[in-house]
Structure 1
Amino acid sequence: MAAAAAASSGDPAGAESTGTVPATAAPSLADQYRSIDNLLLRPSPFGNETGSLPNGEFEPGEDTKARLLSEAKVLVIGAGGLGCELLKDLALMGFRDIHVTDLDTIDLTNLNRQFLFRMSDVGSGKSEVAAKFIMERVPGVTVTAYTKPVQEFTTTWFRNFAVVIGGLDNIEARRYMNEALCELVVRDEDGDIDPSTIIPYIDGGTEGFRGQSRVIIPFVTACFECTLSMFPPAQGFAMCTVSSTPRKPEHCVAYAFMVLWEKERKGEKLDKDSPEHMRWLFDKATERAAEFGIEGVTYKLTMGVTKNIIPAIASTNAYVSATCALEAFKIVTFAGQTMNNYHNILADYGCNCPTYPLERSPQCPACGPQMSVNLSVPRATTARELAEALTSMPLPVVDSEPITLSEVMIGSVPDVVFATAGIKGGWHDRSKDNADKPLSELVEDGQQLTLRGPELTEDTVPRGASVTVNFAD
């Protein structure tokens, strides 16, 4: 997408337009971001290093300001209710290299709160329209748009960013993003983390008058997977109930969605952003409800069940987005104390906005303990000798106590290099022919092999165990 930015405009935010704004004289960079000088150019008693979650030391001056304006690259995932607010906040507070991805298109129902879009944008891609709008309104800001789900980006691609902010509406995308950033963390031979490989993830979410923002620093704070139990299970419907004895209006919508569409419009792909398709589902759900004497089927409910839409309120989006953008600003500049680490807004219960630290889970499959053994051995070392070495000493476990193995299986099923006699499943008999073969005939130099053993469980090494064989000669 072209990065050229048009000049700022005085066009009122509520006016309907195509996004094209009249040109005016663009302010200088110094004038445009003068408001942040008091935060970045003067000493502060509340620098990042003074907080309970320090991740850097604040050094006031032009270098820090330049890091924000010229060097920091930020990724925003989602260009919906939260995403629109985030793009606006980030652009106005000094982030000038912003990337945004969203695969959704703009729907008429988005316009009441997703203020970067206009009536003429309905049907267009959210990320592309949002990027164009921001670049026209905020001179000097480059917003690069992508139109694919976050799961389609390679893990290494995220290394390009100083911070990632999620404005997502589903659990699976959050889990993928969390796991990807955990995988990017590199440790040295002593197991110590290389801080330069840590990419903070800021997650925001809203539901009606409630919302949350949190800072996830991989292997330092609780990650998303650590706290997965905080989220209720996804709503589902038993097909026997939906098909034969519906009791709720949601069952009628689900029947129209899961049964009637396939039956009556077989081969036609359902477009959840199509008003015509949604109207068809609504009409069929209404007929189904009338047949069973069920009330409460509405067009809004039809969209909610079909698209799993979470109720959105503009002011909640604005609040949560502001907290996320502020944390990104503090993480990049170190000009303030990083939030530690979970902030909640419960506006339906008054002004209740607590902040508290979520704790890491020792059984987390994303950031929990992991055994990663590096062995340097002669090429003539046999598979049996490798197994004896692995069971004769305590093996290091990242973020936990060492473990001594009583039995071991080296390699993954079915390509098992060798298994000792006590391993269940008959793998010792299947691999015993390899026992006295040199490792140089069985594995490559530097090859990583999975380890299995009775002491290696989901509780002790939730991220698994492996040995890397390096030939010393």
Structure 2
Amino acid sequence: MFDTNIYSVVLKRILSRAGPFTDDDFTAPGADLYQRLSTMKIFGAGGLGCEILKNLALSGFTDIHVIDMDTIDVSNLNRQFLFRHADVGKPKALVAAEFVMARVRGVKITPFFGKIQDKDENYYMQFAFVICGLDSVEARRWINATLVNMVDQNNPESLKPLIDGGTEGFKGQSRLILPTITSCYECSLDMFGKEKQFPICTIANTPRLPEHCIEWALVIEWPRVFPDKTLDNDDPEHIQWIYQVAFQRAQTFKIGGVTHSLTQGVAKHIIPAIASTNAVISASCCSEALKLATSCNPFLSNYMMYNGSDSVYSYTFEHQRKEDCPVCGMLARDFHAEPEWTLGDFIDHLNDTDTVQTKKPSLRTAEKSLYLQFPPQLEEATRPNLQKKLNELVASGQEVSITDPGLPFSVKLRVYY
């Protein structure tokens, strides 16, 4: 059993000494700071939660709220150390909260088993800042847009800093977003490419990569051998069958690198998580939280990249805010289209564009609806426009407003030919 009073003593020692980056007029904080830490509400969510929750509890924060929509799987146990085998199948948020509260006296953790989208702006307004370790681009875009929309220029308390962390294997990043002040998550969306997809002709006829062999087993061989059985990515027997078939095909084409781990990654569209990377990125996020709460050091401005695949490398830089960002910017984004495109072609290009990344977009101009996905009656009524030439519907230089059910904001594009 740990006691938060012990960590208060350690924290006082840390904060009572000026560091190399503190201001010249630095003075040690008074008792009110530690009282503020103990009453400050912190919110966290996502796959880095075990590390982040532990770090926050041992850093003096005693009122923490956590959201996670996942349940515990056997594959989590090798790195998410708050869970045990008996916890498999239980909600992560609930088990993690109980584990930490049982071992750190004085910490109150309020868990919620569900999605971050289940909560409204009033819920997020209660927190001093938000820490996210989400494994979904869509969820990150949602919380980023929500926090930006919450900002009221007449109420400084409405600005809730967003600390974001993410990992991919031995690589990771942490960043600090001050909504409406620094660049937001949407500003950097083009840094994260869309999920890689392989042409079916390459998979079927000329595989060159181990991923080609695995995709062949997934999309071609499984339906052929088991036409009436749906592949279950969580079934070990199904994954083992895919691995063996992919391995045999790789041998036929003299391709190396097909492993059981890679097969799982391709089948589930995941990149294996590394415990050490999670620890580094979580530590960085919680360090930013402590700096925000105590002003003991300048906070990150505003992006840190980490690579542990070959020794240890990190790089910090300031990502610039974009004036045409659909979330925090003020201007419509220019989009260059081809005159021969139909509206359907235009939508296909939107779905493949890194800076937009829509899934089921509905499109309007100021004068008319171009194509609406919902409700079904309006979808049917606007469907004929998909076959019309884009330049017949939208004049060069005209703005098109795009909404998507997965995003709490609209994207405005100024279309040019």
TM-score past 0.5 threshold: yes
Give the whole-Å Cα distance in 2 for the aligned partners of 1:196 and 1:367: 18
Per-residue deviation, 1:102? 2.5
CA contact (8 A) 1:46 1:337 kept: no
In the alignment, which of 176, 181, 185 is matched to residue 142 of structure 2? 176
In the alignment, which of 358, 361, 365 is matched to residue 326 of structure 2? 365
Query: 1:434 maps to what in 2?
Result: none
Query: 1:65 maps to what in 2?
Result: 34
RMSD over aligned CA atoms reads 3.7
**How big is each residue's C-alpha offset from its partner over 1:15-62, in whole Å with a ceiling of 9 and x where there is no partner?**
xxxxxxxxxxx74x544522122356x5868898889xxxxx999222
Query: 2:194 maps to what in 1?
Result: 233
- The 5-angstrom pairing of residues 416-431 of structure 1 reads none
Query: 1:305 maps to what in 2?
Result: 266
Query: 1:430 maps to what in 2?
Result: none
Query: 1:38 maps to what in 2?
Result: 13
Q: Which amino acid aligns with 1:114?
A: Q
- The 5-angstrom pairing of residues 262-273 of structure 1 reads 270-273=231-234
CA contact (8 A) 2:323 2:331 kept: no
Give the secondary structure class of the aligned counterpart of 1:359. Answer: coil
Give structure 2 stretches of 5+ with no counterpart: 333-364, 371-390, 402-409
Query: 1:76 maps to what in 2?
Result: 44
Per-residue deviation, 1:410? 6.6
Change in 2 beyond 3 A, CA 1:207/1:454: closer
Per-residue deviation, 1:263? 5.7
Query: 1:254 maps to what in 2?
Result: 215
**How big is each residue's C-alpha offset from its partner over 1:166-187, in whole Å with a ceiling of 9 and x where there is no partner?**
1122322222221121111123
Change in 2 beyond 3 A, CA 1:271/1:152: farther
Query: 1:139 maps to what in 2?
Result: 105
Give the whole-Å Cα distance in 1 for the aligned partners of 2:186 and 2:298: 24
Q: Which amino acid aligns with 1:216?
A: I
Give the whole-Å Cα distance in 2 for the aligned partners of 1:83 and 1:266: 40
- The 5-angstrom pairing of residues 382-397 of structure 1 reads none
**How big is each residue's C-alpha offset from its partner over 1:359-381, in whole Å with a ceiling of 9 and x where there is no partner?**
1111111110169xxxxxxxxxx
Per-residue deviation, 1:153? 3.5
In the alignment, structure 1 residue 95 sits paired with structure 2 residue 61: yes
Change in 2 beyond 3 A, CA 1:279/1:45: closer
Per-residue deviation, 1:313? 2.8
Give the whole-Å Cα distance in 1 for the aligned partners of 2:88 and 2:284: 29
Q: Which amino acid aligns with 2:42?
A: V
Change in 2 beyond 3 A, CA 1:234/1:260: same
Change in 2 beyond 3 A, CA 1:345/1:256: same
CA contact (8 A) 1:125 1:147 kept: yes
**How big is each residue's C-alpha offset from its partner over 1:81-137, in whole Å with a ceiling of 9 and x where there is no partner?**
x32111110011112222222233333333332222223333433323222211111
CA contact (8 A) 2:324 2:331 kept: no
TM-score, normalised to structure 1, is 0.64
Give the secondary structure class of the aligned counterpart of 1:316. Answer: helix
Give the secondary structure class of the aligned counterpart of 1:181. Answer: helix
CA contact (8 A) 2:211 2:258 kept: yes
Change in 2 beyond 3 A, CA 1:291/1:345: closer
Query: 1:166 maps to what in 2?
Result: 132
In the alignment, structure 1 residue 221 sits paired with structure 2 residue 187: no
Change in 2 beyond 3 A, CA 1:267/1:336: farther
TM-score, normalised to structure 2, is 0.72
Give the whole-Å Cα distance in 2 for the aligned partners of 1:128 and 1:268: 34
Give the whole-Å Cα distance in 1 for the aligned partners of 2:19 and 2:70: 44
Per-residue deviation, 1:205? 1.9
Aligned length: 353
Calculate percent identity across the aligned residue pairs: 41
In the alignment, structure 1 residue 337 sits paired with structure 2 residue 303: no
In the alignment, which of 88, 97, 106 is matched to residue 122 of structure 1? 88
Give structure 1 stretches of 5+ with no counterpart: 1-7, 9-25, 52-56, 189-193, 372-408, 415-423, 428-451, 466-473
Give the secondary structure class of the aligned counterpart of 2:65. Answer: strand
Give the secondary structure class of the aligned counterpart of 1:296. Answer: coil
- Structure number, greater radius of gyration: 1
Give the secondary structure class of the aligned counterpart of 2:314. Answer: coil
Q: Which amino acid aligns with 1:33?
A: S
Change in 2 beyond 3 A, CA 1:241/1:155: farther
Give the whole-Å Cα distance in 2 for the aligned partners of 1:109 and 1:58: 47
Give the whole-Å Cα distance in 1 for the aligned partners of 2:115 and 2:216: 28
Give the whole-Å Cα distance in 1 for the aligned partners of 2:220 and 2:284: 43
Q: Which amino acid aligns with 2:65?
A: H
Change in 2 beyond 3 A, CA 1:279/1:222: same
Give the secondary structure class of the aligned counterpart of 2:109. Answer: strand
Give the whole-Å Cα distance in 2 for the aligned partners of 1:347 and 1:47: 26
Per-residue deviation, 1:149? 3.4
Q: Which amino acid aligns with 1:62?
A: A
Give the whole-Å Cα distance in 1 for the aligned partners of 2:19 and 2:243: 58
Q: Which amino acid aligns with 1:37?
A: K
Give the whole-Å Cα distance in 2 for the aligned partners of 1:69 and 1:269: 50
CA contact (8 A) 1:107 1:273 kept: no
Per-residue deviation, 1:223? 1.0
CA contact (8 A) 1:368 1:463 kept: no
Give the whole-Å Cα distance in 2 for the aligned partners of 1:132 and 1:97: 14
CA contact (8 A) 2:134 2:165 kept: yes
Query: 1:394 maps to what in 2?
Result: none
Answer 1 or 2: which has greater helix percent.
2
Give the whole-Å Cα distance in 1 for the aligned partners of 2:248 and 2:80: 33
Per-residue deviation, 1:324? 0.6
Give the secondary structure class of the aligned counterpart of 1:65. Answer: helix
